[in-house]
Amino acid sequence: MLPSGQSALFTRNSKLLLSWVLINSIPIGYMNVVPLVYLLEVGYKPSTIGLIYGVAAIANTVAYIPFGILADKYGRKIFLIVGGLIPCISYAIFGLTLIPSWLILASILGGVGLAGGLAVAINSPALLPLMAASSSNENRTLLFGVTQGAFIMAITIGSLLSFLPSFLISHFSLSSYTAHSYSYFFMSVLIVVSTLPALFVKEDRRKVADDALNRAIKTTKKLLPIFSGKVILEFSVVFAFSGLGLGAIVQLLPTWYNLRYGTSETTAGLWLAVAEIVSIIAIPLIPWMIRKGRGIILVATATSALSCLFLGLMPLAAFFVLAALLFVARSVLINLSWPMIQSYMIGLVKERERATTVGITYTAWGFATAMGTFLGGDLLGNGLLWVPFMIGVVGYLGSSVVFFVFFRNIRPPEELGPTQTRAL
């Protein structure tokens, strides 16, 4: 049961967690644009850039499961704080050097793209369970949508800040290297500031009232028995397909924009921000769409599958603005489906293994993202600018199909009547 007062959408904890997401994610938006173009301009090959961003996903793959299990066993707040702080080291490294080996290390630690390296592997399994615990089942999907909106707003701000290097160069007569370095240091400062709201999050460490589960834990020698294994395995397949699509082209999109249309980091950042801003506007529609669309399964599947159409049309665009507008449409649809799928997953599994579930499923996502990023970077480096989009469409469409096939007959708690049970 939820503590008193947590039937509201915005509780004290959810507000603090949303503040953490908003501030902590701004650098993700910035680092997901500027280095992808700047490193290309200073002579890096696309394949090397793909390697730098891909190792972050490999680090996820190694670390998600152990940190998910540890967060369930020892508490989630500390992992949110520690994982949230680590990227300040990575961004500082980017500000100090252009040596590839150091940039790879920085990516492994704190990530420089959407995958996030070890840092996200530590904090991400903790965030979703903490957020779910601050809400009722009925409000969970909308709260996850708002969380996605906070993340989108943050990376939008980060993308818009891609003008910082050119601003510093033109107004303070700095070299390009120095201007980029200062901007990376600023991102490190934001990471430190983001820790403040996380410190005040209150975590309820009381045992969940599940007698059968508690008896099973007492009689096993395992670190943390997993009772939702089939669901977790199926979601791992869903997330793996999605990660492949993300890594193959979406992660490398600013590099593709530059190679295909000659766009600058500022222009790429502006249009990525536009895509995210429009997505925020659509997020409040999630509860209405679920009601009108006969449940979360059909709506999440439809929006995710339809996004593939716009992604697949992008390499056919004759000019940059058309390609960017197609990506805007794709972003709106995928940012509607993602919080629905996350909320649905969290709603199906037992509370005390939610971080473990996130850790395992995100491991599959991280591995596929890494493989996609390595492959996409190599393809772009060899001038095959349309092939990554084919892989991306296969990934996202495959994710939509297997999600529907696996879960079409299983309804989340909020869609069940008082006498119904889930068919797991």
Q: In whole angstroms, what is the distance from residue 289 CA to residue 294 CA? A: 8
Q: In whole angstroms, what is the distance from residue 24 CA to residue 197 CA? A: 10
Tokens of 412: 């989340």
In the numeric block, the tokens 């680092």 are attached to 31
Which domains are assigned to the chain? 12-195+224-415 (1.20.1250.20)
**Average pLDDT for 196-219:** 63
80-121 pLDDT, tens digit each: 999 999 999 999 999 999 999 999 999 999 988 777 899 999
28-29-31-35 Cα dihedral, nearest 10 degrees: 160
**Average pLDDT for 59-77:** 90
Asked whether 79 and 123 are in contact (CB, 8 A), the reply is yes
Q: Is 285 exposed, middle or buried (0-12, 13-18, 19+ CB in 10 A)?
A: middle
Q: Which amino acid, one-letter code, is at 324? A: A
Q: In whole angstroms, what is the distance from residue 375 CA to residue 96 CA? A: 28
User: How does the average pLDDT of the chain come out, rounded?
Assistant: 88
Q: Among residues 111, 352, 99, which one has the least CA distance to residue 212?
A: 352
pLDDT at 226: 57
255-270 pLDDT, tens digit each: 999 999 999 988 998 9
Percentage of residues in the chain having pLDDT higher than 70: 91
**317 or 265, which is more confident:** 317
210-225 per-residue burial string, b: 16 or more CB within 10 A, e: under 16:
eeebeeeeeeeeeebe
Tokens of 313: 């049309």
> How many of the other CB atoms lie within 10 Å of CB of 101?
8
Tokens of 353: 């293994």
364-377 pLDDT, tens digit each: 998 898 899 999 99
> Does the pLDDT of residue 177 top 70, yes or no?
yes
277-301 pLDDT, tens digit each: 898 888 888 989 998 888 899 999 9
Q: In whole angstroms, what is the distance from residue 61 CA to residue 420 CA? A: 37
Q: Global pTM? A: 0.81
Q: Which amino acid, one-letter code, is at 66? A: P
pLDDT at 351: 85
